[in-house]
């Protein structure tokens, strides 16, 4: 891991920057400048005044009108502004001192925290082209070339962390300058929830694709403006695999009050919002491809998996759980799927129990060992066309199937009525990653709830219930899915192998 100090460069540039303004003006001055001198005088004046106004507006958000009067008065007494060159050292000092920090979390927009400019860095707007990722980049044209600076590392109240824009030549005093590319993520929910964490990562992958695969030097994570120092390990591994770097900056070891300014920063606060379906699928394609490459797996995809006559193999994988939302009778469920699989030519059933994660956890010193979980899953999913699983985090691995992979999802009693939209996450994930969610089965039987069954309090009873099974319903459902997958894979095999006609199969 790289130490923060090696990545940041402390700058305390009290020296006076080279004045650029007058030089540029000289360049524009024609030989007949004597005729133009009143004009020149006024344009110089305007520029100086505009510059001043610009900074003042930022520092005087609360009462812009009161300030306008001041500005007008100053115009009427232009003497103080007649010579930009002379004023430059003091202007520069003023610029540095007038960099105004606003709270990262703007409570005025608490009601619309997720909309438009959101309550995170609320004074700034995103760059957004139709169908593309929505983001902010600094420095950029829309920031007038200014860098993003951040102050504070509060992890309990985002209103005590601040942001500001500043020109590189006049960064605020005592600023620490971070070289390279910084990814700044805003997540309204939780980086430990795989779904929400993944959502906040997707736009960065989109940007990364778009910008020639630029690799970040560090990540800074926020939730409601509060600094976060870690993410779900599965997600962290995925970040590492995708970007080659998942170093999370927490500003430890830095002066508490000094601002941090970034050579180049990209800010995301809308997750994948704004990205077209096609773009999202490309993002998942990229992550899948990088993960497979990291695990040294074939990148060619499922269509290469055929028997000696070239007939495609159908991989069906049962993801089993232990404890919450596991099957009451594993062997009975396996039997049903095995029986139906045997009826189909070239169907291969894999039953996967969650691997022993406590072993992986002990191996955190070596990051690559930590991958043991994801590596196992990436490999497993690269052999899978149909994943059969109770609702749960293990289903996140569906993104590692080839596009058009199928998902059959099972819920315990009560979820349908009480679990809210949260139960749809794998439907969404499947759709975004280019998969086919084949529907859900809801257990009609379950634990007894002392309240009426649509009472919200029952959710705590049902949430981690165990799953029964319905032999007839499961068999019928999986037959349909198998037929559909078989037909699609045959078509695919034929289209990849132009020389063969259906009869030859
Ligand atoms: C502006 O100030 C600089 C340095 O003080 C001086 O060299 C220059 O002649 C001044 N220009 C005008 C137009 O007064
Ligand atoms: C910069 O840091 C020094 C030393 O920590 C401190 O004395 C000084 O007041 C700081 N300056 C500003 C403008 O915060
Ligand atoms: C900011 O200034 C420093 C030198 O003071 C330079 O190395 C760096 O590249 C500049 N950064 C940007 C974004 O212009
Ligand atoms: C693909 O084509 C080769 C010959 O070009 C043939 O041997 C093979 O059976 C074909 N496979 C399929 C799935 O059609
Ligand atoms: C589980 O199902 C199998 C097959 O249907 C059955 O033989 C077995 O008795 C069941 N086990 C339990 C604990 O119900
Ligand atoms: C998981 O690994 C731990 C530590 O290696 C071991 O103590 C435990 O028995 C294992 N559990 C299972 C179910 O294999």
Task: Please give the share of the chain, as a percent, with pLDDT higher than 90.
Answer: 46
CA distance 252 to 361: 24
pLDDT for position 78:
42
| Stronger pLDDT, 189 or 9, i.e. the higher one | 189
pLDDT tens digit sequence for 123-141: 898 888 888 889 999 999 9
Number of neighbours of residue 433 by Cβ within 10 angstroms: 23
- Could you tell me the sign of the dihedral formed by the alpha carbons of 321, 322, 324, 327, in that order? positive
% pLDDT > 70, the chain: 77
446 pLDDT higher than 60: yes
The preferred substitution site among 346, 490, 491, 497 for testing ligand 4, maximizing ligand atoms within 8 Å of CB, is: 497
Answer whether residue 44 shows pLDDT above 60. no
Tokens of 492: 């695919």
Least confident of 43-52, 341-350, 453-462: 43-52
- CA gap 109, 250 in Å, rounded: 26
pLDDT at 327 > cutoff 90: yes
Has residue 43 got a pLDDT over 80?
Answer: no
pLDDT confidence of residue 120: 92
Least confident of 46-50, 176-180, 232-236, 246-250: 46-50
Q: Which residues contact 499 (CB under 8 A, 6 or more apart)?
A: none
Is the CB of residue 330 less than 8 Å from the CB of residue 400? no
The predicted pLDDT at position 112 comes to 85
pLDDT of residue 472 exceeding 80: yes
Residue nearest to atom 10 of ligand 2 (CA): 174
Average pLDDT for residues 299-326, to the nearest whole number? 89
Range 80-102 burial, b when 16+ CB lie within 10 A, else e: ebeebeebbeebbeebbebbbbb
Residue 362 has pLDDT above 70, yes or no: no
The Cα 207–Cα 126 span in angstroms is 13
* Mean pLDDT, rounded, for 181-204: 91
What is the reported pLDDT for 70?
A: 42
User: Which pLDDT score is estimated for 42?
Assistant: 55
Of 119, 169, 118, 161, which is closest to residue 139 (Cα–Cα)? 169
Tokens of residue 122, six digits: 């609320």
CA distance 205 to 280: 9
Instruction: Give per-residue pLDDT as tens, 376-389.
Output: 888 899 999 999 99
* CA-nearest residue, atom 13 of ligand 6: 356
- DSSP letter at 461 equals H
Structure-block tokens of residue 412? 């315990």
Between residues 86 and 458, the one the model is more confident about: 458
- What is the DSSP-derived secondary structure letter of residue 256? S
Name 150's bridge partners. 163, 260
Asked if residue 97 has its Cβ within 6 Å of ligand 5, the reply is no
**Ligand (nearest to CA of 137):** 3
Q: How far apart are CA 319 and CA 170, in angstroms?
A: 56
- Of the pLDDT bands very low, low, confident and very high (cuts 50, 70, 90), residue 81 is low
- Kindly identify the ligand whose nearest atom is closest to the C-alpha of 356: 6
Domains and CATH numbers, the chain: 4-18+40-98 (no CATH), 102-278 (no CATH), 302-504 (3.40.50)
Distance CA 254, CA 14 (A): 20
- Beta strand residue intervals within 74-217, DSSP E: 102-103, 136-138, 147-151, 162-166, 176-186
Most confident of 41-45, 156-160, 219-223: 219-223
Higher-confidence position of 11 and 289: 289
Checking if the pLDDT of 85 tops 90, the result is: no
Is 83 close to ligand 1, i.e. is its CB under 6 Å away?
yes
Average pLDDT over residues 475-497: 93
pLDDT for the residue 18: 35
Q: What is the whole-number distance in angstroms between the Cα of residue 357 and the centre of ligand 6?
A: 8
pLDDT value at residue 344 = 94
Residue 488 binned pLDDT confidence (cut-offs 50, 70, 90) = very high
pLDDT at 67 over 80: no
What is the pLDDT, as a whole number, of residue 28? 37
Q: What is the arrangement of strands in the sheet containing 436-442, beginning at the earlier edge strand? A: 347-352, 314-319, 386-390, 406-411, 436-442
Lowest mean pLDDT among 25-34, 74-83, 216-225, 310-319: 25-34
How far, in Å, is the centroid of ligand 6 from the Cα of 372?
15
Ligand 6, residues 358, 363, 364: which to mutate, most atoms within 8 A of Cβ?
358
Terminal CA-CA length for the chain? 54
Mutation test of ligand 1: which of 25, 48, 83, 88 has the most ligand atoms closer than 8 Å to its C-beta? 83
- For 318, the token pair is 């049962």
Q: What is the pLDDT of residue 40?
A: 52
Q: What is the mean pLDDT of the chain?
A: 81
Using pLDDT thresholds of 50, 70 and 90, give the confidence band for residue 185. very high
362 vs 207, more confident: 207
Cross-strand bridge partners of residue 184: 220, 267
**What is the average pLDDT across 329-357?**
90
Q: What is the pLDDT of residues 133-166, one digit of tens each?
A: 899 999 999 999 999 999 999 999 989 999 999 9
Per the model's pLDDT, the better-predicted residue between 315 and 8 turns out to be 315
Burial class (CB in 10 A: 0-12, 13-18, 19+), 309: exposed
**Residue 152 and residue 173: Cα distance in Å, rounded?**
15
Nearest Cα residue to atom 13 of ligand 3 = 263
Q: How many CA atoms lie within 13 A of 446 on its CB side?
A: 26
* Residue 28 CB neighbour total at 10 angstroms: 10
Q: Is the pLDDT of residue 498 over 70?
A: no
For the Cβ of 332 lying below 6 angstroms from any atom of ligand 5, the answer is yes
Against a cut of 0.85, is the pTM above it? no
359 Cα to the center of ligand 6, angstroms: 7
* 288, pLDDT greater than 80: yes
Task: Note whether 226 and 154 are within 8 A (CB).
Answer: yes
- Report the separation in Å between the CA atom of 68 and the middle of ligand 4, taken as the mean of its atom positions: 78
Q: What is the distance in A from the centroid of ligand 6 to the CA of 370?
A: 16
Judged by its nearest atom, the ligand closest to the C-alpha of residue 146 is 3
| 155 Cβ contact partners less than 8 Å away, ≥ 6 residues apart | 226, 227, 228, 229
Pairing of strands 386-390, 406-411: parallel
- Check residue 245 and give its pLDDT: 86
Mutate to test the pocket of ligand 2, among 173, 176, 256, 261 (most ligand atoms within 8 A of CB): 173
Please list, in sequence order, all residues whose beta carbon lies within 8 angstroms of the beta carbon of residue 237, skipping any fewer than 6 positions away. Answer: 246, 367, 370, 371, 373, 374
pLDDT in tens, 435-445: 999 999 999 99
CA angle 2, 178, 126 (to 5 degrees): 115
383 touches 377 (CB < 8 A): no
What spacing in Å lies between the alpha carbon of 338 and ligand 5's midpoint? 15
48-66: per-residue pLDDT in tens? 555 554 554 444 444 444 4
- Between residues 484 and 21, which one has the greater pLDDT? 484
| DSSP structure class, residue 501 | -
- 109: which residues sit within 8 A by CB, 6+ positions away? 117, 118, 119, 122
Q: Please state the length of the chain.
A: 505
């Amino acid at each position: 891991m790289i130490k923060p100090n090696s990545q940041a460069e402390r700058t305390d540039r009290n020296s006076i920057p080279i004045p650029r303004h007058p030089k540029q003006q000289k360049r524009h001055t024609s030989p007949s400048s004597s005729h133009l001198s009143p004009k020149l005088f006024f344009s110089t004046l305007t520029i100086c005044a505009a510059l001043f106004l610009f900074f003042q507006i930022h520092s005087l958000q609360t009462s812009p009108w009161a300030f306008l009067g001041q500005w007008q008065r100053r115009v009427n007494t232009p003497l103080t502004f007649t010579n930009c060159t002379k004023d430059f050292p003091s202007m520069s000092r003023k610029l540095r001192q007038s960099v105004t920090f606003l709270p990262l979390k703007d409570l005025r927009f608490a009601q619309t925290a997720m909309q438009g400019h959101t309550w995170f860095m609320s004074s700034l707007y995103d760059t957004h082209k139709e169908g593309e990722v929505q983001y902010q980049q600094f420095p950029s044209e829309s920031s007038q070339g200014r860098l993003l600076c951040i102050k504070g590392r509060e992890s309990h109240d985002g209103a005590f962390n601040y942001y500001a824009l500043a020109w590189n030549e006049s960064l605020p005093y005592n600023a620490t300058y971070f070289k390279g590319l910084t990814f700044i993520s805003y997540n309204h929910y939780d980086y430990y929830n795989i779904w929400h964490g993944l959502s906040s990562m997707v736009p960065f992958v989109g940007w990364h694709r778009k910008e020639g695969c630029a690799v970040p030097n560090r990540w800074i994570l926020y939730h409601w403006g509060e600094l976060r120092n870690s993410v779900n390990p599965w997600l962290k591994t995925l970040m590492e695999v995708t970007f080659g770097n998942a170093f999370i900056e927490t500003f430890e070891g830095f002066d508490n009050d000094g601002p941090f300014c970034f050579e180049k920063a990209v800010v995301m606060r809308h997750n994948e919002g704004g990205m077209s379906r096609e773009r999202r699928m490309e993002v998942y394609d990229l992550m899948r491809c990088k993960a497979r490459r990291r695990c040294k797996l074939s990148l060619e995809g499922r269509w290469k998996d055929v028997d000696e006559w070239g007939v495609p193999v159908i991989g069906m994988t049962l993801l089993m759980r232990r404890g919450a939302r596991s099957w009451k009778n594993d062997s009975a469920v396996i039997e049903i799927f095995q029986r139906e699989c045997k009826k189909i030519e070239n169907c291969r059933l894999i039953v996967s129990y969650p691997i022993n994660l406590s072993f992986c956890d002990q191996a955190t010193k070596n990051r690559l060992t930590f991958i043991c979980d994801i590596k196992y899953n990436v490999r497993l999913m690269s052999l899978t066309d149909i994943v059969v699983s109770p609702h749960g985090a293990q289903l996140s691995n569906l993104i590692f199937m080839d596009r058009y992979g199928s998902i059959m999802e099972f819920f315990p009693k009560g979820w349908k009525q009480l679990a809210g939209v949260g139960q749809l996450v794998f439907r969404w994930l499947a759709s975004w990653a280019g998969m086919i969610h084949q529907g859900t089965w809801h257990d009609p039987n379950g634990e007894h709830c002392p309240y009426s069954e649509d009472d919200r309090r029952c959710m705590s009873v049902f949430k981690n219930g165990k799953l029964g099974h319905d032999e007839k319903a499961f068999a019928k459902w999986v037959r349909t899915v198998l037929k559909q997958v078989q037909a699609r894979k045959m078509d695919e095999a034929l289209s990849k192998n132009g020389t063969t006609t259906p009869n030859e199969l």
